[in-house]
Amino acid sequence: MNGWMGKILEINLSNHEQKSIPLDPEMIRKYLGGRGLGVKLYTDRVPVDIKPFAPENILIFMTGPLTGTVATSGRYQVISRSPLTGTIFDSSSGGRFGSVLKNTGYDGIIITGKSEKPVYLYLNEQKVEFRDATHIWGKDTHQTNRQILTETTTRASIACIGPAGENKVLFAAIMNDKDRAAGRGGMGAVMGSKNLKAIAVQGNMKVEIFDPVGLKEYEKKIDRLIDKNPVTGKSLPVLGTSVLVNLINAHGMYPTENFKRGIFNDAEGTSGEKLAETFLVNRSACYKCPIACGRKTRTSNKEGEGPEYETIWAFGAHLGVNNLEIITEANYLCNELGLDTITTGSTIGCAIELREKGVFDFPMNWGEADKILSLIEDIAFKKGVGEDLAFGSKKLAEKYGEPDLAMQVKGLEIPAYDPRGAQGQALSFATSNRGGCHMRGYIISPEIMGQPVFMDRYTINGKAEIVVLLQNISAFVDSLILCRFLQFAMGVTTFRDILNLITGIEINDEELLTVGERIYSLERLYNLKAGFTRKDDTLPPRFLHEPLEEGPSRNRIVDLDPMLIEYYQLRGWDKEGVPTKKTISRLELEF
């Protein structure tokens, strides 16, 4: 089977049983791999009445047909139901874990049950071992990584949880290859609920390519496209994702103090340029990645990787903090403890505004950088106020009677783009199946960066159509799996050509887009059955009723309803956002 390894490993932690499941050729043509196949496997197996921390819940690690083959193909997806949001959820990570997992001969791993005591899995192409992890339970992710490498092989790649996952913090991350994160949605908490500390993989099996000569020649085109594009060829290699700090701030939509303002007066002091000037040691790259957007950094106290744009914002402007060294060390600490930086910073910001309202006795105010590191530890270990914050901003704000102060959609905190400054991105946030996420449809690309063409960021005209298109593209790219940054440099036809050269399945552009649409609608059907409705396709009232008061986006609010009506029509969903029978039949969905 070209591209795919042809089988998935299923492991039951309750009784240590394991079995190999062959891939269904019809299913992989419809869902490819990664996010798509993971969502299909999950929705087929797990009823919506199963809670995220129940032993009956499953956790799926998936690669895709392109994993381990071309540029940026070291990624993997983790799929389950989010304990933070209650939605169907997939979280993506880079590094090399995905490619090494595939080298073991499996396209993915389905984890079921719950171990009686802490364990870790060691998997190679010969066998699966269930190893005792009581001696590393409680250790941080870096300590865990080092210890397991000494117990297995230095060639292994390891995905593990830290104390946050063990303590079932609802936004705990899974960390792999030390500092890469499947960060959002609490997949680390699901892993911790199963007493699974880590998965170590090492393999030597090769991915079979349908047309290796044609692919080798086509890779030259891919390299040219990446190098030619200003984002992938210049901005990301030179400054990493934090190149966005000054850009988004200049557009008046850089969220400051829990989205109360859209301009941070010291954005320059926490920018990618400043990071390069002060703490940058070197660039870093995931497996087979020519972009190398990662940043190896060193402060006066520690060294590590990052921070990325979202993290600089979450612990910077969002909290009114301009101390880049503390922001960088907050990133290191989240990586070690296994926490999603976006939700961590967002929840702290929500707590500060609750303090301002006089309803929550919280020990930090805007700009108090010296409080951040201790608060992160309190969250990971659920100590003091950290016990409240460990549930995320939505549950925190609801508990203290101010639900509108949580800047979230469907329970997932919105990242570093104020939607009042970009109508299309606002619609994308509202309709994201996993909650407030920019990665479901990155409309910042045309609205702010002009990629592939500029769109007026203030108008609602044409936004529903572009949101649907980019959400569908993102769904199939997450299923191939390749890095989403390639969408700046490559279009649907290029992704199609790569897939055909590797697998030989001869898919066309229309069918590839239908794969994306099918995945998106299947996720929607699961969420609807789980109790989500049209009322959840919305934004916090702040964005709908409170105009920004300064900067280029001043006097703007989100005009959501007209875009939402058009969006449902384009998707073939009814006025309540439910896929029609005609759409379900056209997409060959069984649910």
Burial letters 207-226, b for 16+ CB under 10 A, else e: bebbeeeebeebbeebeebb
Q: Which of 178, 201, 224 is the last residue of a domain?
A: 201
CATH number at residue 83: 3.60.9.10
Instruction: Let me know whether 402 and 443 are in one domain.
Output: no
pLDDT of 263-321, one tens digit each? 999 999 999 999 999 999 999 999 999 999 999 999 999 999 999 999 999 999 999 99
Instruction: Let me know whether 50 and 85 are in one domain.
Output: yes
Whether the pTM exceeds 0.85: the reply is yes
Q: Given a cut of 90, is residue 451 above it in pLDDT? A: no
Instruction: Let me know whether 397 and 466 are in one domain.
Output: no
- Calculate mean pLDDT across residues 59-79: 97
- Is 44 within a domain? yes
- Is 220 within a domain? no
- Is 210 within a domain? no
pLDDT of 493-527, one tens digit each? 999 999 999 999 999 999 999 999 999 999 999 99
pLDDT of 535-584, one tens digit each? 999 999 999 999 999 999 999 999 999 999 999 999 999 999 999 999 99
Q: Given a cut of 70, is residue 591 above it in pLDDT? A: no
- Calculate mean pLDDT across residues 385-389: 98
Instruction: Let me know whether 571 and 535 are in one domain.
Output: yes
User: Whole-angstrom Cα distance, residue 159 to residue 201?
Assistant: 9
Number of domains in the chain: 3
Q: Give the β-pairing of 174-176 and 157-160.
A: antiparallel
- Is 225 within a domain? no
Q: Which of 362, 379, 413 is the last residue of a domain?
A: 413
Return the percentage of the chain with pLDDT > 90, whole number.
98
Instruction: Let me know whether 239 and 325 are in one domain.
Output: yes
Return the percentage of the chain with pLDDT > 70, whole number.
100
Instruction: Let me know whether 461 and 544 are in one domain.
Output: yes
Instruction: Let me know whether 439 and 563 are in one domain.
Output: yes
Q: How confident is the model at residue 79, as a pLDDT?
A: 98
Instruction: Let me know whether 403 and 548 are in one domain.
Output: no
* Residue 591: C-alpha distances to residues 87, 522, 529 (Å): 16, 8, 10
Q: Which of 201, 218, 249 is the last residue of a domain?
A: 201
CATH number at residue 576: 1.10.599.10
CATH number at residue 331: 1.10.569.10
- Calculate mean pLDDT across residues 90-110: 97
Instruction: Let me know whether 145 and 68 are in one domain.
Output: yes
| Cα–Cα nearest to 198, from 167, 180, 176 | 176
Are 107 and 23 in contact by the 8 Å Cβ rule? The answer is: yes
| Lookup: tokens for 437 | 């996420």
- Is 303 within a domain? yes
Q: How far is CA 392 from the centre of its chain?
A: 16
CB atoms within 10 A of CB 356: 16
- Is 223 within a domain? no
- Is 206 within a domain? no
Instruction: Let me know whether 83 and 117 are in one domain.
Output: yes
User: Whole-angstrom Cα distance, residue 415 to residue 36?
Assistant: 24
Instruction: Let me know whether 147 and 276 are in one domain.
Output: no
Domain interval for residue 270 = 234-413
Instruction: Let me know whether 392 and 443 are in one domain.
Output: no
Q: Is 142 exposed, middle or buried (0-12, 13-18, 19+ CB in 10 A)?
A: middle
In the three-class reduction of DSSP (H, G, I as helix; E, B as strand; rest coil), residue 394 is classed as helix
User: Token match 């496997």: residue?
Assistant: 41
pLDDT of 130-142, one tens digit each? 999 999 999 999 9
Confidence band for 452, pLDDT divided at 50, 70 and 90: confident
Total residues belonging to the chain: 591
- Calculate mean pLDDT across residues 155-179: 98
How crowded is the C-beta side of 46, counted as CA atoms within 13 Å? 33
User: Whole-angstrom Cα distance, residue 310 to residue 341?
Assistant: 8
- Is 215 within a domain? no
pLDDT of 228-272, one tens digit each? 999 999 999 999 999 999 999 999 999 999 999 999 999 999 999
Average pLDDT, the chain: 97
Burial letters 545-584, b for 16+ CB under 10 A, else e: eeebeebbbeebbbbbeebbebbbeebbbeeebbbeeebb
Output the DSSP codes for 257-281.
TTTTBS--TTSGGGSHHHHHHHTEE
